Structure formats: structure tokens, C-alpha cells
Structure 1
Amino acid sequence: MKYFVPLLSLSIALLPATGFAQNTPLRHHEQQRGSSKNGTVTGRVLLADGQPAEQVSVRLKGSERGTVTAADGSFALKVPAGWQAFVVSCLGCQAQEVAVEVQPGQAVALPPFTLARGEQQLQEVTVAGAKSLNQSTPSAGKMPIAPLDNPQATLTIERPVLEQQQALRLSDVLTNVAGVYVMGTTGGAQEEIASRGFAYTSANTFKNGVRFNNGIMPEVSSLERMEVLKGSAAILYGNVAAGGILNLVTKKPLFERGGSVGLRVGSYGFVKPQFDVYGAVGESRQVAFRLNGTWERADSYRAGVKSNRVYVNPSLLFRLSPKTELVIEGDYLRDNRTPDYGIGAIGYEIQESRSRFLNVADATNATNQTSATATLTTRLNSTWQVRAVGSFQRYDNELRSAARPTSIVGTTAGRRYGDWQRGLQRTQTAENYYLAQVDLTGMLRTGRIGHTVLVGADADQYNTNTLAFISQAYDSLNILNASRVLGQPKGRVTGFDAMRYNTRTLGNTRRAGFYAQDLIGLTDQVKVLAGMRWSYQETPSDVYTYPALALPATNAPTVAENRRYDNAFSPRLGLVYQPVKTTAIFASYSNSFTPNSGVDVRGNNLAPSLIDQYEVGIKNDLFKGALSANVTAYRIVNSNQAQSVLPTDPRFATAATASPQELAGQVTSKGIEVDIQSRPVNGISLIAGYSYNHTAYTRSNLYEDGSRLRYNPAHTANASLYYSFANVFANNNFLRGLSAGLTTYYVGDRLAGRNPRLLDPTTGKPWATNGTASADAFKLIALPNYFLFDASVGYAYERFSVRFKMANLLNELSYNVHDDNSINPIAPRTFATTLTYKL
């Protein structure tokens, strides 16, 4: 990323160490510590227009002791007591000194002064991944604490990395994150993400701290960064799955004028123009804007598959006062594409292919997603802040598609091997989502103990309206020769418009939560993070079922009502020990919950399943912060998973429902993750990682103990190396803009298909999911391991830049699979070129 920077004029404000910004990496113990021989100097650096100035040097004169300002311009530096001189400097400014008396065991603020402009003008600055792993505080954590003080694995991928790697989809970004992976691409319209054996549903995916429907692939071009909180986030967000959360942070308004326009072209007719403009509104210093967007169309390596997308992301920043800001953000995505359930399988055997397409020619998946979010942030004083968020999201989807390729003939008796009777499916979904949230964060002391406190509340509501049509037979074909239709059965449906209503489901989920969390600094080396959340959830739904033979215009449906009321407590407790300033050893326990939809033998709704999570790890900043290396081990136990009550259980005979359930199963996930990330050093930047996971049934009446859950790779590994030749060709204006990168990603040992079930001792047949006996002989499918290698070359000259990328250099073939039917091949070797002009 390039910025054209004029002479800088900065001022230092007489402010104590703040710690109120969401992304402030200011260490808690740096603010609180004190001793008989040392004191702390604090302050804040601002640009002339009032914006915080990051990475400004503050140094104790005559020593190597110093620091740089954080994202909000704040700094804190521990120094010996007595009169001390400090040098404040930045590129483009004339260094100046200030002297101050430091009292033992106390914090003192530097007096205000203004840095004068230097005589040397900086024409161009190249910024690429300025922070390492343990220097970025995710805003999704809601608290202004540094990663080294947080007893949880976190990771942030910044915008420069996305540009270097030419990330197109969220899966491209995830190749930089150990242990977060794509578990499936059912229908080809979304990327199903998971971590630590648990799927990231729409409850686990966020944009700017607000949940969004992940039924469609989000747009990556608008991202400023992607934040990952691994493990439990239930205390902050309620009923999220146990594996962690993703938070996509979009680009924000800036007062300096700038932007870019670009064009990306690639294999299979891919074309994507894009733009990004920002600046002050008129000559205002109180209102700024940003507007970015794209249009995209493409064919596919999958025969018959096409896509078309439009995306716009506008935002406004209002400086209502020196301490209060309001950000209003919009988001619009229209995504139309061919639904694609893959190549099919015969008898749990994948029939290898990359291009075979089994859907009908007029299949469509059309989605419109619109959202608006307002975020109000006000600083009550130098250490306390209130942040309020209000958001609305609208999601509309219509699917017209052949059903997933199931029940394909696996023998030659009567029909040919691979024959399949193809049916049609159709659904319409409309969803309105509302959110209100308020957080209070700040710092205080009780005696010698320091506290960083979060207190908050949130409430949200989902209104859903889902219309499903009756799936009906359409025609027959052989999947090994899908171009030839074999026949059309009697009574078949003639097309999507002739399909009849089946059910309409009206949902109105309402949730509320209250939470509090405290990072307690017991000593300089020992910290405790403790908190609790209480969540309440109502899940009413009305299901209207239409008579099968009635025309849509004359349907007289029957209505089935269902009401659920759940509540749960989610505690969190973590311990951090820092033997040295650059190393943190941590252990934590947290608890999350998952609502259940079944009923017990008495007909009562099942209580939520409570999931215990244990995590230990070590975080390290090496080579003066140039490299971060973290290792985390975890164990997640759902010891009260919902499972069927079997007919052999005496309670089954008197059960109030035909399919009673109980909270008696258990699933255990355990593993280890390694995350490595560097700041750019001499033009080199590195991201690497490794993960191991084993998620299995450890108690079940349907599956054998130790049976692995599907879709979760046992091993993943990633490495990305990027090099800028600016230092090598520092004196050559033509060649200094050259860069190159290599990314590799490994996915190994995954299972799909269906887990084999235990046998009914009386019939000798496997149990079905409803507790009855079944003749199905379910099997697992072992999916091929694969390595992805991507290479890129970039060149920038003045305001122009061009990047060339080759993805999947080895043309590896593997699959993302759902059950034994939706089998989607990964993309082959592809090429892409992006041309950009900086405004």
C-alpha cells in the first residue's frame, strides 16, 4: 500500500495514557506498574488535523530505551526516576526534546508541545504489514488489552497481506490462519468455515462487530483486516459455536483525499473492475467519507457454472466533538450464480472429475444482502470510553436448483451403474436482522491492583420467512455421461414455476445478553482475566404446511406452533504469567452454549448444551518485536450433546413424541496450533502456521466411541513469504517497486460420507437417526490430502501497480464434500492479473 505524504505537522497533547481505543496495543502492565526506582511517562501524539499518529518514536535521550505510539497515538514508557529528557521524532518532522521530572512509582504526562516541520520532504512511503501477531489488538475482543495480556489465541490479517496475495475469497485469507479452514462448499454459493472441529455458522461470522448472514460469500475487496478470535467468544457474543469467531473489518473514512481504481482479470473469463475513493466532505474537518465497490462476472472450470456480483460499501465519519465520533456504514451485495452440488458419488466412491456438472441449465441462486451500521464512540475521559452500535441487515435469497445428487445407482441390477433420477428443489428466504449493543470500557485501580474493565449489553432479533416448495422428480440421467438425459418419469414436474408450495416457516428469534469482564493486574508479571455473561433467547416459529395437491393460489395450510425459551450463563477465567516483557504463558477456561431443537421423552424442549473449553499456550515476541511465535493447545468437551433415545430404552415406549432425545452424548475436540508472523524486515515478511485437531464422539448410542467427526482436517499447515526489492534497488527508481511472494497451504486427513452406526442388537441392522433400525450401511469417505502453492509477482511505479498471480501451481485435485453427495472439486491452476492506479 502506498501513501503520498506531505510534510507532517504533529502535536503532542498533555494526556495520560488512554487505552480507550479498540485497537490500542498498549500493555496494561505498562500503565499500572511502578516501583521505588522507576516511574512511567505517558502521552499521546496527534496529527495536525486531530487524527492519532501511529508509529511516532518516543525515546529516552542518551539511552536505547524507547517506544512508538500505538494506533490511537498513545504511548507509555517506563524510565528511571529523576529529571529525564525525551526525544520525539517522526519522518518528515524535526526532532525536538522535552524534559520532565519523573517521580518514583508514579505516572507523569509529558507537557504539550508541537513538532516543527523538517526540511526533508518524504515523497512516497511504502507500508506493508507494519504489525506482527502480538501487536494487533482485535476490535472483536471489545477490550483495549494487548494480545500478550489476553489468555486466548488471536490473529489479525491486515490489508497489505490481502493485496500482496491478491485475495479474492475469504478462503484465500484463511490460508494465513492455522486451524481455521473451509469444511465444505455445498451448492457452490458459500464457503462453510470451521475451526477446532466446530462450524462457523452465521452466529460466528461478524462484519464490523455485527453478525451477518454467511449464506453467501462475503466481498473481500472492502476489507481493511480480518480478525480471528480462536476458542470461546460466548462471553462477548452469546451462543456462538465453540471453535471461535471471524470479524471482517471494512475500510474506514479518511480526511486525506485519495483512493484507487483497478481491474482484475483472470482464468475462465474472470473480470472484476473495482474502485475506492475517500476524503473529507468539502473542506470539512468534521465529516469524511469512503466509497468502494466492485462488479464481477466469471465463468468456471465447472461446465455450465457462471456468476455475477455487484458490491458497494459506503461509509461516513462524523467528528461530533473532540471526544465523540459517529461512523455510519452501509453494505450492499447482489450475488447471482449457478448453484452447483458437485460431481456426485456412487456407493461412497468419488467418481473423479473436475468439470462434470449435474444441475439443470436454468438453475439459479440469487441473493441480495443489504446492511447499515451506526457506531458511536465517546471518550468520557482519558481512560473510559462508551461505544454504542445499532445495525440492520436484510437478506433475500431464491434458490432454483436440482436437488443434491443422492441415491445414485451403485449396482447394474435393472439399471446402469451411475443412473440417477434428478429432482428439483426451490426455496425463498427473507430475513431481517436488528442489533443494539453498548459497551463501557476503562481502567481503574483498587489499591496496588490495576483493572481493565468491560461492561456491556446487547440485544438482537431475527425475523425470517422461508418458503419451501415440494421437491419432485424431473428427469433421469447417468452422472458419468450427464449430457444425455435418459428419460422423464410419469407425473414429473415440468419446471420450477410448476412446483407447489410445501411449507412456510415464520421465525422471530429474540436474544439479549449482559456481560462483564475484568483484566486484573495482580503484579507486573501476573494477570487474571475473569468475566461472566448471562444470555436469554426466545425462538418462536410457526410452520404452515400446505396440502400437496392444492394449487398455490388455493392452498389452505395447517399451522404448527413451536415456542422455545432458553437462558444460560457463560463464564470465563484466564491466567497470564509474563516472566519477561516479551513472553506470556497463559491458561484459560471458558464455557459456551448451543440451543437444541429437540424434545425429551416428556415432550419438553431440551435445554441448551453447555460446552467446556480449556486452553493453554505461550506467546512470544522475538527479535525486538520483529517476529511473533505463539503455540496453543486446547481441549473442548460437549458432555451433554443431544442424541436419540433408542427404542431399547424403557422410556421410549411411553415417550410423548415419536423421536425423543436426551442430553447424554459427548463430543471432544483437542489439538494444537502454531502461529508465526513477522513485521517487514529488510523487505521480508513471513506468515506461517500449523494445526492438529482430533474431534470425535467420546460417548454416543449411535456411533462407536472414537469415531471422528467429518470434514475436519487432522492437519493443516501454511506459509507465506513476501519480499520487496525496495532495499536492493533503493537507488533505482524504476526497479525499486518490484516485489514477489510465495504462499503454500496444506490440508490433510479429512473424512466425509456418513459415520457408520452401531447395530441394533435385536435386528443386527444399524440404528437410524430417529432411533429406529435402518438397513443403510453408511461409510466414510477418505478425501485426498493436498498442497496448494501460489506465486505472485508485483511491480509499482509512481501511481501505477500491477500484480500477477498463479494459484494452485501443481494443479492439485481434491474435494470439499458434504455427506456423500455434494462433492465439489477445488479449483485447478488459475492465473490472475490486477492493474491499479492510485488517485
Structure 2
Amino acid sequence: MLTLPFPHVLPAPAASPAHAMPVSKETEQRGRLAGQILDSRGEPLEGVSVALKGTSLGTLTGTDGRFRLSAPAGSYQLVVSRLGYVTQELAVVVAGGQTTVLPTVTATAGQQQLQEVTVTGARSLNERPVAIGKLPIAPLDLPQSTFTVERQTLEQQQALRLSDVLANVSGVYVMGNTGGYQEEIAGRGFSFGSSNTFKNGVRYNNSILPETSSLERLEVLKGSTAILYGNVAAGGVLNLVTKKPRFESGGSLGLRAGSYDFYKPTLDLYGAVNGSTHVAFRVNATYENSRSFRREVQGERFYVNPSLLFKIGGKTDLLLEGDYLNDRRTPDFGIGAINYRIPDVPRSRFLNTTWANIGTEQKSATATLTHHLNDTWQVRGVAAYQGFGNALRSASRPSNVRDSVDVFSGVDKSGKPIKILTGSPALYGNLVRSLQASETQEDYFLGQLDLTGKVQTGRLKHTVLVGMDADKYNTRAIAYNAIGRYDSINVFNPGQYAENSAVPGFSRNTRTHSSVRRVGAYVQDLLEITPKLKLLAGVRYSYQETGSTQYAYKTAQTTDRPKRYDDAFSPRVGLVYQPLQTLSVFASYANSFTTNSGQDNTGAALPPSLIDQYEVGVKNELFNGLLSANLTAYQIVNSNLAQTILATAPNYNVNLPTAQELAGEVTSRGLELDVQSKPVQGWSVLGGYSYNRTAYTKSTIYTVGSLLRYNPNHTANASVFYTFDQGVLSGLQLGLTTLYMGERQAGRSTRSTVQGDNFRLIPLPAYAQLDASVGYTYDRLSLRLKLSNVLNQLSYNVHDDNSVNPIAPRQFATTLAYRL
């Protein structure tokens, strides 16, 4: 049953009958009801229906169990219902111009429901609109593939890195792990750089490992998003949504510990400020200290994510969010490659210097103001800042082959004389270690304004988005003079040469200030022609201005590089047909663009490359919404890819040997399947499969038909969880997660105009990783155990032919948490 103490707090007027409509008919002033529903264990209950009896006004609770409902002032019967729970009614009063916060509801399953299928509160894959889409469109109405990984899944899997979260998403994968301090993400054959990674709807620099402890969910909007955000890669975008403030008091304390001296305490606190009904806060903080299965590699980071929510009257919310990350770790470029072959050495083999380090500081602040003009229209403004800076001191990626005759002298680590080797470098694995250093400071600013709402013209219903945004990057990059020969190392025998342990002094070479300024305006309309037929159409205009100034320390000269100006229109159109309320079929076309930094054979700036994207799919809710199954097919064509003009070409300009032309073409074709269930009798499953082929279909440089690097043709994922909710094992949860990554290739793409072995590919083996987890919750205390890579599979993430990073071996982790 539902325990509802509301009448003791908000008694209805005695003169009002139980089914009364609003008393204050003389005024149309509106108010709001707000509250939260928890299950018997105190966990937020999602998907509970909260409605005002006798009206069409109602809503569902969100992932945090909270709801907000707007209605004209007056007295009502509030109906709270959910399959598996007893429906309850209670009298409430809506005060005009005010938000009435109701006491927390504790829900327990009704006894008469125990023999039926019990569904824990949750929304299906096709019931979760993604905030990154800006327009509140139900996924069944959206002619585009989406996927959301909720907090419950993140906790069940003990997700530590973004790669752990993406293991639940078909067609989005880790393409590289350069230096061990970042995870390079790709989808549908295209790289997701910082332009494609967002936090709370704002672009986010992903050059360092993002922190996941503060995540409420991860949203993935696949395919084209250029109409919403302008210059983004074609494969899709990621949006990291952090936990939000709550008015009820609560939180948690946790400690994660694992293999290789891994320790990570966490803190999450939230509540009203001084008991206020208008101001709430939340603070997430964590500290991480770890070593690694890679010798000499260690890391340390501190992260804090504070936020404040202001309820300004009954129609306006102001959300202030910030975060700060300080990360220090050992840069690790892996085990190297010998003549485009991965050497057979231990997974732990470390080839960098012991003093190498990279330090990163990242901070952001975002203000989001949302004002409800009425029940159907709202305006939303966002102002944001992000600062990113890092400094690297390290050996370079191990790729330079030593001379076949070695003249380096010294002793090994044990004091024994060094044996001088002669012969093939590929055979002996002798490498020269050179050094590198760099510094980067980036400041990013964003302003965005969106107007969304619904309107009807005749029989046609419109859901409209009108908006504009402006952002800019200011970047300062310091390049240092490289140290070409620091010492030598042998991949197969690290003790072969005496290590040079002296920390060198680096001298500055250049300092480059660059800026990117963008502005865009967009309009989009979801047109309901009939309840079964809907059309989504829109267009964006984008303008971009870039320029840079470089200062040379040696000559003390400053060089201004000419500014370049780009603009483009990005149209979008999609058609959705819904023969059933639980089934939709869609087809869409979108156009996006990517800017080119080069120049043509006359010295003029290259125009942007335009990319055409086509997508068709089926979204289905099966078994009364208990299982979502979505299938999508797509084709993405960059038909004007920038390529260097060959010296043998008739348009080659000897005075501009690096000139380019829009003469290439890359085509990506694929198929994606996403499956996800609601929790049913303790069981929940999710899974996916992706096939992708991204290849050169036209090129003056690369072999036509050759595949682009880093992209697996096949990926698949599956997770199954079972929770005991009755008996002596109540609170125990078991889980299995598996990820399959098909064959990929790294190295250097083969060129049709170059003979010999100057460019070769490195095949990377397919692998299947299995993770197992066990969790137990008793009252407020929970304990979770995880064994990752149970089968101890070995594969690699490789950038070009020089950052060859093995995946982690079998590891153990445990998390102990207490809910406040």
C-alpha cells in the first residue's frame, strides 16, 4: 500500500466534496504541486503516475522519484498509481502563484498483487526523452536513434570510466587510449572529439578522463545533431548529466577499493538550504588514488561538483552548477610497435621514463534559467564557462627504431656490463627514446537561448523549438623543442641499456594563441499531421570565425595567420509513422558540416565539407511496454573530403606543396539494435549489436575500398541483473555484463600512390570481455563486488602505430556505501 500522510499537512476545505474541481473558478492563477515517491527501501521510485482526478493533468515521477505538476488554483483529489501498488487518492490544495511541496511518499507493494507480474517503477528506453535533444519529444516520435544509461545501471556495474558506461551502448566505442590519460570515443565510424561531448548540454573537453561518480545518467543521441549544435562530427553526441539538487535531505558516503592499490572515497549530499522550499543544494565530491597493472603508472585526482537550485516564484527555476577536476598521472604510451607489429611482451611492460607526468586542471560553471510562460511554452537560457589546462613532460611515443649497430655504453640496472647488439632492429626491438613537452590552456564561453512550446493550426499540432547560440574558444598552446635522443631502451629486455634518469630542462619553441567564434540560429517543428503520422523538420544556420597568432621564442617574432570565415546551413527532415501506439517506423535525412583548416592550390581557405546522413528504423514497445527493441540502419557520406594534392596532379602548385582539394569520399553504413527491459520480477536486461563499415569510396591518396582505422565492424553488448526482493535473500543482486569488440586496425592507412612498407596497418584482435557483479543492500548500507575481465582477455587500444595500450587484465573492486 501507499503511506500518504498528506491530509495532515495539506487539509482540504471541509466544504469541498471529494471529487471537487477547482474552487477558485473566478481566477485562472496557477500553482504547482511537488513531491517525491520512494519504495519500501527508501529508494526513488520512477514511473509512478501522479494525476488530478477529473482532469487531464498528470505526470510521471522521474528517475529521482520526484514529480512536479502545474494546475489552476483550487482543491483536487490527487491520484497516485503504479502497477504492483495500491492506488491511493488524497485531497490536496493548489495555491495560486505558489509551489506546494508535499511530504515524501513511501510506497510498498500491495498484498493482492504478489501473484501478479510486479514491475518496479522505471521508464522504458522509448519513454525517456533526452535533454540533449533540446525539444521534449518522446523517443517514439523522434526519427533518430537514442539511448540512455541510467544511474541504476551505473551503480549495478560499478562504472568507473566513461568506457564502462559506453559498454552498454551499441555503435559507440573506445577507439584509442592515447597516453592512458584519455579515452578517445567514436561512433558510426566518426571520432567524438570535444565538439561531440557535452556535460549538462554544454560542450566539454574530453582530453582527460571524465569523472563518472557525479553522473545521474548518460544520454546518447546518435546520427546527425548539427541542427542543434552546429559543428559536430557525424556519428552523434554524448551528454553527461550530473546529479541535481533535491529539497528533501539525503545523500550517501562511499568507498571503492580494488586491485593495484585503488582507493576512491565518495560523498554525495543534498537537501533544502535552511529548510527552504525555494533553494536546494547538492554536492558531489571524490578523491581517487591508484596504481596500475602497468609498472610505474599511477594516478591521483580530486573532483567536486556543487549545484544550487532556486525556485523563483511558481514559474521560474534557476540552476547553478559547477565542477572542478584536478588530475595528476603518469603518461603511458604502452608497449610500442616494431615494424607495424605488436611485440609479444608482458602486459605490464612500461617504456616511459619514471619521472614522466601529466597534470590537468578542469573547471566549469553553468547557469540555466527556465521560465514557464504558460502550460505549453517555456524559455530556457544557458550561460556557461569552462576552463581546461594541462602540462605534459614525457618521453615520446616509442616508435623510432635504433641503429642496427649500437654504440651506447654503460651498465644495466644490476650493474652488469651492457651487451652490444647488432643486426636487425625489428628483431631485437631496440628503440630510441626522445622527449616531448607541451602546455595547453583553453577557455570556453557559451550563451544559448531556446524557446519551446506547442501550438495548433487547424488540425495540425506543432511542437516547436526556436533558438540561437554563440560560443567561443580562446586557446594558448606552448610547444617545446623536442629532445631527439634521450637514451635507448629495448622492448624485449628493458635492462639491456642503462636508463638515463636525469630530468631534462625543456626549452620553449612557440606560443600560439588561437580563437574560434561561432554563432548559430535554428528552428525545428514536430508536426503532428494525424495521431499516427508526424513530420520533424528544421534548419540551422551556422557562422564560424577562426584565427591564430604565433610567437617564436628563438626569433622573438610574431606571425598572424589570416582569419578564415565559414558558414553553412544544416537542414533536417524526418517522417514518423505509428500504426500502433507502441510501434513507430521512421526515415530521416540530415546534413552536417565539418570545417577544414587547409588551403587550396591558390592559397585560399578550403570551404567546409558537407556530410549527408540517412537513417531508417523501427522502435517497438513489446509485452505492454516491458521490453523496448529498436532497430536502425544508416548511411553517412562525406562526399567532399579534404585531401592533399599529389605532386603528379595537373593542379599541383609547387609553391604550395601542402595544398588540398575536396576530392575524397568516405562512406559509413551500418545497422544497430538496442534492447532494454524494465525490471520484471527482479530481472532486468539490456543489450545491443552494431555492424558498421566505414571505408574510402573515393580517394586520390588512399586505396579505394580500404577501411578507416580504429572502427570495429562488429560490436555487441549484453547485461542481465537479478534482484532478490523477498525472503532471506532480499536485497541481494547478481549481475553479468559482456562486451564484444570485433577486429579493428590501427597503424598507417595504406596509400595507393606509395610503394613499399612506409604505410602499413596493424590488425587488432577481437575480444569478448565478461564482468561479474554481486551487490547486497540492507537498510541504508550496501556492499557491491565486481570482477572485471573474468576471462582475462588480451587486446589493445592503438593510436597510429605508437601508442599501443593493452586493455586491463582481470581486476577486483568493491564498493561500500551508506545512504544518509
Question: Given the two structures, how large is their TM-score scaled by the length of structure 2?
Answer: 0.87
Q: Look up the match of 2:407.
A: none
3-state SS in 1 of match to 2:651:
helix
Matched, 1:417 2:428: yes
Deviation at 1:562, TM superposition (A): 3.3
Q: Equivalents in 1 of 2:766, 2:314: separation in Å?
A: 55
Deviation at 1:523, TM superposition (A): 0.6
Q: Equivalents in 2 of 1:501, 1:797: separation in Å?
A: 58
Match of residue 460, structure 1, among 446, 453, 471: 471
Q: Equivalents in 2 of 1:622, 1:203: separation in Å?
A: 36
Deviation at 1:502, TM superposition (A): 1.5
Matched, 1:380 2:373: yes
> What code does the residue aligned with 1:275 have?
L
Matched, 1:746 2:740: yes
Describe how 1:263-274 pairs up with structure 2 within 5 A: 263-274=255-266
Q: Look up the match of 1:193.
A: 185
Describe how 1:487-498 pairs up with structure 2 within 5 A: 495-496=503-504, 498=505
Determine if contact 1:600/1:661 at 8 Å carries over to the other structure. yes
Q: Equivalents in 1 of 2:437, 2:101: separation in Å?
A: 65
Q: Look up the match of 1:25.
A: none
After the TM superposition, which of the residue ranges 777-786 and 139-148 deviates more from structure 2? 777-786
Q: Look up the match of 2:810.
A: 829
Match of residue 449, structure 1, among 448, 460, 481: 460
Deviation at 1:800, TM superposition (A): 0.5
Q: Look up the match of 2:16.
A: none
Q: Equivalents in 1 of 2:800, 2:174: separation in Å?
A: 15
Determine if contact 1:94/1:117 at 8 Å carries over to the other structure. no
> What code does the residue aligned with 2:461 have?
G
> What code does the residue aligned with 1:824 have?
N
Q: Equivalents in 1 of 2:436, 2:131: separation in Å?
A: 41
1:129-179 per-residue CA deviation (whole Å, 9 max, x = no partner) reads 712210110000000110000000001111011001100000000010000
1:548-597 per-residue CA deviation (whole Å, 9 max, x = no partner) reads xxxxxxx6234242311111111000000001110000000001111001
Determine if contact 1:584/1:620 at 8 Å carries over to the other structure. yes
Match of residue 149, structure 1, among 129, 141, 150: 141
1:355-388 per-residue CA deviation (whole Å, 9 max, x = no partner) reads 1101001000100001000000010000000010
Match of residue 331, structure 2, among 339, 342, 366: 339
Determine if contact 1:205/1:246 at 8 Å carries over to the other structure. yes
Match of residue 503, structure 1, among 506, 510, 535: 510
Deviation at 1:413, TM superposition (A): 3.5
Q: Look up the match of 2:621.
A: 621
Q: Equivalents in 2 of 1:583, 1:67: separation in Å?
A: 23
Determine if contact 1:420/1:479 at 8 Å carries over to the other structure. yes
Q: Equivalents in 1 of 2:453, 2:511: separation in Å?
A: 47
Q: Look up the match of 2:444.
A: 433
Determine if contact 1:187/1:340 at 8 Å carries over to the other structure. yes
Matched, 1:302 2:294: yes
Determine if contact 2:743/2:764 at 8 Å carries over to the other structure. yes
Q: Look up the match of 1:82.
A: none
Q: Equivalents in 1 of 2:403, 2:529: separation in Å?
A: 66
Match of residue 475, structure 1, among 450, 468, 487: 487
Match of residue 226, structure 2, among 229, 234, 237: 234
Determine if contact 1:564/1:605 at 8 Å carries over to the other structure. yes
Matched, 1:251 2:239: no
Q: Look up the match of 1:722.
A: 721
Deviation at 1:96, TM superposition (A): 3.5
Q: Look up the match of 2:636.
A: 636
Q: Equivalents in 1 of 2:104, 2:628: separation in Å?
A: 34
Determine if contact 1:200/1:243 at 8 Å carries over to the other structure. yes
Q: Equivalents in 2 of 1:120, 1:566: separation in Å?
A: 56
Describe how 1:757-796 pairs up with structure 2 within 5 A: 757-759=751-753, 765-766=754-755, 776-796=757-777
Q: Mark the CA change 1:208 to 1:638 in structure 2 (over 3 Å): closer, same or farther.
A: same
Q: Look up the match of 1:17.
A: none
Deviation at 1:117, TM superposition (A): 9.7
Q: Look up the match of 1:612.
A: 612
Q: Mark the CA change 1:625 to 1:127 in structure 2 (over 3 Å): closer, same or farther.
A: closer
Q: Look up the match of 1:79.
A: none
Q: Equivalents in 2 of 1:117, 1:457: separation in Å?
A: 39
Give the CA RMSD over aligned residues.
Answer: 3.2
Matched, 1:673 2:672: yes
Matched, 1:574 2:566: no
Determine if contact 1:273/1:295 at 8 Å carries over to the other structure. yes
Describe how 1:60-459 pairs up with structure 2 within 5 A: 69=60, 71=62, 73=67, 88-90=79-81, 95-96=88-89, 130-352=122-344, 353-409=346-402, 413=423, 417-459=428-470
> What code does the residue aligned with 2:347 have?
R
Q: Equivalents in 2 of 1:447, 1:122: separation in Å?
A: 46
Deviation at 1:189, TM superposition (A): 0.4
1:432-491 per-residue CA deviation (whole Å, 9 max, x = no partner) reads 110000100000011000000000000011110000101112111111122443587xxx
> What code does the residue aligned with 2:475 have?
T
Q: Equivalents in 1 of 2:767, 2:104: separation in Å?
A: 54
> What code does the residue aligned with 2:749 have?
N
Q: Look up the match of 2:23.
A: none
Question: How many residues of Structure 1 are paired with residues of Structure 2 in the alignment?
Answer: 752
Q: Look up the match of 1:108.
A: none
Deviation at 1:545, TM superposition (A): 2.7
3-state SS in 2 of match to 1:345:
coil
Q: Mark the CA change 1:119 to 1:791 in structure 2 (over 3 Å): closer, same or farther.
A: closer
Q: Mark the CA change 1:197 to 1:339 in structure 2 (over 3 Å): closer, same or farther.
A: same
Q: Mark the CA change 1:830 to 1:736 in structure 2 (over 3 Å): closer, same or farther.
A: same
> What code does the residue aligned with 1:751 have?
Q
Deviation at 1:60, TM superposition (A): 12
Describe how 1:511-526 pairs up with structure 2 within 5 A: 511-526=518-533
Q: Equivalents in 2 of 1:693, 1:130: separation in Å?
A: 31
Determine if contact 2:81/2:88 at 8 Å carries over to the other structure. yes
Q: Mark the CA change 1:128 to 1:459 in structure 2 (over 3 Å): closer, same or farther.
A: farther
Deviation at 1:45, TM superposition (A): 8.2
Q: Look up the match of 1:647.
A: 647
Q: Mark the CA change 1:487 to 1:321 in structure 2 (over 3 Å): closer, same or farther.
A: closer
Determine if contact 1:747/1:785 at 8 Å carries over to the other structure. yes
Q: Equivalents in 1 of 2:665, 2:552: separation in Å?
A: 34
3-state SS in 2 of match to 1:405:
coil
> What code does the residue aligned with 1:638 have?
N
Q: Return 5+ residue gaps in structure 1 as ranges.
A: 14-42, 77-84, 99-111, 548-554, 760-764, 767-774
After the TM superposition, which of the residue ranges 346-355 and 321-330 deviates more from structure 2? 346-355
Q: Mark the CA change 1:117 to 1:512 in structure 2 (over 3 Å): closer, same or farther.
A: closer
> What code does the residue aligned with 1:451 have?
H
3-state SS in 2 of match to 1:388:
strand
Q: Mark the CA change 1:94 to 1:158 in structure 2 (over 3 Å): closer, same or farther.
A: closer
Determine if contact 2:47/2:121 at 8 Å carries over to the other structure. no
After the TM superposition, which of the residue ranges 234-243 and 654-663 deviates more from structure 2? 654-663
Q: Equivalents in 2 of 1:779, 1:115: separation in Å?
A: 65
Deviation at 1:673, TM superposition (A): 0.2
Deviation at 1:88, TM superposition (A): 2.2
Matched, 1:756 2:750: yes
Q: Mark the CA change 1:468 to 1:423 in structure 2 (over 3 Å): closer, same or farther.
A: same
Determine if contact 2:120/2:680 at 8 Å carries over to the other structure. no
Q: Equivalents in 2 of 1:191, 1:623: separation in Å?
A: 38
3-state SS in 2 of match to 1:350:
coil
Q: Percent identity?
A: 57
Q: Mark the CA change 1:123 to 1:315 in structure 2 (over 3 Å): closer, same or farther.
A: farther
Deviation at 1:74, TM superposition (A): 7.8
3-state SS in 2 of match to 1:167:
coil
> What code does the residue aligned with 1:453 have?
V
Q: Equivalents in 2 of 1:515, 1:739: separation in Å?
A: 46
3-state SS in 1 of match to 2:179:
helix
Q: Equivalents in 1 of 2:11, 2:309: separation in Å?
A: 23
Determine if contact 2:47/2:123 at 8 Å carries over to the other structure. no
3-state SS in 1 of match to 2:160:
coil
> What code does the residue aligned with 1:515 have?
Y
Deviation at 1:776, TM superposition (A): 4.8
Q: Look up the match of 2:565.
A: 565
